[in-house]
Amino acid sequence: MVSEVNWKKSFNNEITSLVAIGKSVVDRKLVVGSGGNLSMLLPDRKQFLITATGSELDQLDQSSFAIVDLNGNFSEGSPKPSSEYRVHLESYRARSDINTCIHLHPQASIFAAAIDEDIKLITTDHLYYLRKITRIPWIAPGTQAVADATALALADCNIIILENHGCVVVADNPRLAYSRALNLEEAAEMTIRSVMLNVKPRLVPDKFKEYLREKGL
């Protein structure tokens, strides 16, 4: 077990960030109720905060978070973590450059994958925030298998679609992770609209990719 800490007081900034994201993702209809989970690596980079099992993401407060260390141990004195804590754990193990992991159930993103449509990057914001999206065929939620598959896929991208399940988005700060989640769903909605209209939208030109590379963005 991780030694007990006064996490309510010690990690107020991280909790405040995740509470704000939780309310926003529900308001934006990226998730319904407890259908998702949020986490953030703590400053020691040895533990992370994660929403507790059954947490309603638009009703989070300081009591809504568990602490898990990078060996998978739960902290004494905190609630039981989300059943998807393994996805977050393996993401942090796989990527030393991230500190935020968001798992949501956005309807358009899930539906686009269900009809076997790759999500199209139509705006410059889509390309800037998303770059590459990787789809993983359905694996039972809450299992080590889905966590391992996610970690493997995160080797070269920040956005994962878990087919018939949801998405996993990572970043080096919570604001960027949230922006990526928003742009993923917007791109998915535009993709579905293009299918319904039977049109092929003009995608962001490769020239913009080159520009981003040149600027180191």
- Active site members: 84
Answer yes or no: are the C-beta atoms of 32 and 55 closer than 8 Å.
no
CA distance 92 to 150: 11
Q: Is 153 exposed, middle or buried (0-12, 13-18, 19+ CB in 10 A)?
A: buried
Residue showing tokens 């898990």:
68
Which of 54, 153, 162, 16 shows the shortest CA–CA distance to 103? Answer: 162
CA distance 29 to 2: 35
Let me know how many helices (H) and strands (E) the chain has, helices first: 8, 7
